[in-house]
Structure 1
């Protein structure tokens, strides 16, 4: 790749790394935030839920906005919003200020992330070079989630407000690099007005917001309220489908869902995220609440998960070239199932050496599955809909994470009994959720094996730096 192409990739990887550490660092800082601001349990829950609502609710709209109004413009503009409201979160003195800042930060990420992904999928030629760029990108994202746990622990030890201030400095560096390196294309200069499906945007955003609320609150909200928000979300989703069928300029062209590879990738991504984040949540509870480990000890114990940042750009491309996306994704999901099953015998005094294989295998599985799922969800999609494809994929990831966290929480609470043995029963029951999700994801992905070497599932070719250069576009 040319020097300019590497520069563009550096900027986009920086942004997805920023998004990953922002989420992970906050998870570690929550107890300190509660103590300093004297938050109730409900308020603390909304500090996390506000970001999830903003991110998950507006992701699909953000992806389509990148296609309609320019990917570079959307990326840079919403990066500025992310920077400002991350800083405001660090200045918060009351719960409502922090919750509002997290919601708008989530909205900013929902517009910024699919724009960044679509810059890669439209700027790098489909094939080995794009695959390599996507695998580096996804490895960086995974590293953000893993390293953010450790960085968050270190910053919280100084002051929890640095968990919000640190992303401001990183955002500023990325913003300056983006202004210098992301090329401006003719399509992004003032152009003719495009039709916008306002009704579709409002209904699908409302539907996703209600569905995410349903999932997030299911484990600690009355059944009647859960059923009401679920029914309202499904009703809005039905209205959205009717609108899209009749719209001359639909927000989501429903025909895109005829791509079997795209649907498989989105279902696989939803289940992968649910299993991964559900497992992380249970491990943190086990180590801190049952074993009494500190935040920093827990962070370092899970640091090995970051091996995916090394394997994704090095090993995974070779495996994808040789065996194809479907086989590599399937292998990653089966490795994940083995990892989750290996953690089931945990006891009150289990040595870290016995936990280490599970942590290592989970990191390997994420490296094998996450990047190839991104490739499968965007390959063969028209350039004008790459933002939409990215929005669909990240909506699936976010909704899957919310679903996984809610489900493991509900199972853990229901299965937990008195004493240490009762707590262990709760953890073991909850661990069956990520195990089942990984196996179900493997079954979904395995259906693609019957299709052979379908588009987006290359078997031949080398992921290497070919000679010559191709301009990296940003529109």
Structure 2
């Protein structure tokens, strides 16, 4: 891969020069801790839903906002935060974000009602948005070019590990203590990260004055809010009307229109530094890799969502057991990414990236072909190892290619865009795969019930199929174990109830497994598109495309 442009500004210490030598290992550790916490909190709370409902007397809609307030604020403000890192200093934003995230986590753990917890979760999302783009910005600025591939590999693998570790760690904490510890655990970790950041990450400055872009800030924030809100809340409103003339499609379309207006304003080039510098969009490799990043995150989160639900609802595993069953994927990715990253630092990573995308797509196809009602960890292991290998080949090259040659004064903006692409891919992956899975379940469960009803007494068969039909349309994925909704009705004698329960469990497993194939295969054509985009990457991209 080509070397950095000689004209690109070199980061300097703002407070003193030449300054102490940078300890790159401790910098990477600090940034990885911050990144891990932000991604972990996307999924760690899900397992605590039953305890939240009982502990805070929360309604289902309140629980949804406890889950989504964090994701919504997090995704919406990443772009702005990246540019603020350029203007105010990446280390400063990182420390502020860590402090806010840590305080908000303590407030979440101390919340006495749902309203307090929702507000604290939104504050937590604000802290996460402030710190996450700075992790990539600082890593790019402080890591020598020849070491970036390996550093990006480790940093990127943290995301997959955190996504899998969320339900596992959450289940362990809820079982060991209570739902409050799902949040409180962040406090000591956040304090350690703050101390490490202040001690081992130097203040950096490009010695350029940055003027904020208020119109761009308003338009981009409103656009991302509308799109993210529409995607997150789509399943809740069945992709229809929210209230009056306001609907989910209308909100998403409004977001797209506002994003178009934002890009148009950025193109006009008003006074001040644009929030999304057009210089970034002119960089072919950077633009291609951000599309690939979004697709990869969509595929990763889609796979983890489907498998987590399968292992818990069909195989009856606890969150801890399901997390351990899925562990081979992130373990392989973490072990492989640094080695792939080291090779990426020496030559173009596009070929490793294309191979990784192909392997990951193959893992999804193999999973869809082999998963069954009685699949155990050993049965799933080949596809999980294959998925981990694909992730390990993909994560380092796509970030290395994306950030290669970015001038220092644009590193924050570039990190903000990449972080936004990553988070939008995650949100859309959960929504799209979840919506397709819910749709397939609503079709497959009644069919499975009709087949299993043949073994029931004639008087119960119609009630059995009707009960499954009604319950399948009320099923809310991600809202805990809802198999009780398919249990026997009141008034049956003990023998009939046991018979119903046995047939109902088998019908639920059959229907759920039959519904898995399409959601697992949904990302495959997108991964094929990502391979095409990777093929368009220029191996020797100049500083300016």
TM-score norm. by structure 1 comes to 0.89
Q: CA deviation at 1:375?
A: 1.2
Q: CA deviation at 1:25?
A: 2.1
- Looking at structure 2, the residues matched to 17 and 39 of structure 1 have their Cα atoms a distance apart, in angstroms, of 28
Residue 283 of structure 2 is aligned to residue 264 of structure 1:
no
The answer to whether the 8 A contact 1:139-1:311 is kept is no
Unaligned runs of 5+ in 2: 1-19, 242-246, 446-506
The answer to whether the 8 A contact 2:164-2:304 is kept is no
Residue from 223, 246, 263 that aligns with 2:240: 223
* Structure number with larger C-alpha Rg: 2
Residue from 270, 291, 296 that aligns with 1:247: 270
1:40-119 matches, within 5 Å, as 40-119=59-138
Q: CA deviation at 1:2?
A: 6.0
Give CA deviations for 1:262-315 in whole Å, capped at 9, x if unaligned: 1111110111111110111111111111222112211111111221222212x2
1:436-455 matches, within 5 Å, as 436-448=525-537, 451-454=538-541
The answer to whether the 8 A contact 1:319-1:328 is kept is no
Residue from 410, 413, 418 that aligns with 1:388: 413
Q: CA deviation at 1:327?
A: 1.0
Distance 1:102 1:93, change over 3 A: same
Residue 309 of structure 2 is aligned to residue 281 of structure 1:
no
Q: Which residue is 2:519 aligned to?
A: 430
- Looking at structure 2, the residues matched to 302 and 95 of structure 1 have their Cα atoms a distance apart, in angstroms, of 31
Q: Which residue is 1:132 aligned to?
A: 150
Q: CA deviation at 1:317?
A: 2.5
TM-score norm. by structure 2 comes to 0.78
The answer to whether the 8 A contact 2:219-2:261 is kept is yes
- Looking at structure 2, the residues matched to 197 and 50 of structure 1 have their Cα atoms a distance apart, in angstroms, of 26
- Looking at structure 2, the residues matched to 323 and 337 of structure 1 have their Cα atoms a distance apart, in angstroms, of 24
Residue from 307, 332, 342 that aligns with 2:366: 342
Between stretches 112-121 and 317-326, larger displacement belongs to 317-326
- Looking at structure 2, the residues matched to 376 and 48 of structure 1 have their Cα atoms a distance apart, in angstroms, of 33
Q: CA deviation at 1:455?
A: 5.5
Q: Which residue is 1:365 aligned to?
A: 390
- Looking at structure 1, the residues matched to 248 and 29 of structure 2 have their Cα atoms a distance apart, in angstroms, of 42
- Looking at structure 2, the residues matched to 205 and 306 of structure 1 have their Cα atoms a distance apart, in angstroms, of 32
- Ranked by relative contact order (alpha carbons within 8 Å, sequence separation 6 or more), the top structure is 1
Give CA deviations for 1:69-113 in whole Å, capped at 9, x if unaligned: 111111111111010001111112222222221222112111111
Distance 1:141 1:350, change over 3 A: closer
1:152-301 matches, within 5 Å, as 152-158=170-176, 159-185=178-204, 194-221=210-237, 222-224=239-241, 225-244=247-266, 245-249=268-272, 250-301=274-325
The answer to whether the 8 A contact 2:150-2:337 is kept is no
- Looking at structure 1, the residues matched to 375 and 347 of structure 2 have their Cα atoms a distance apart, in angstroms, of 37
Q: CA deviation at 1:347?
A: 1.3
State the secondary structure of the residue aligned to 1:364: helix
Q: Which residue is 1:352 aligned to?
A: 377
- Looking at structure 1, the residues matched to 355 and 36 of structure 2 have their Cα atoms a distance apart, in angstroms, of 25
Unaligned runs of 5+ in 1: 457-475
State the secondary structure of the residue aligned to 2:185: helix
State the secondary structure of the residue aligned to 1:343: helix
- Looking at structure 2, the residues matched to 322 and 184 of structure 1 have their Cα atoms a distance apart, in angstroms, of 29
Aligned residues: 449
Q: CA deviation at 1:429?
A: 2.1
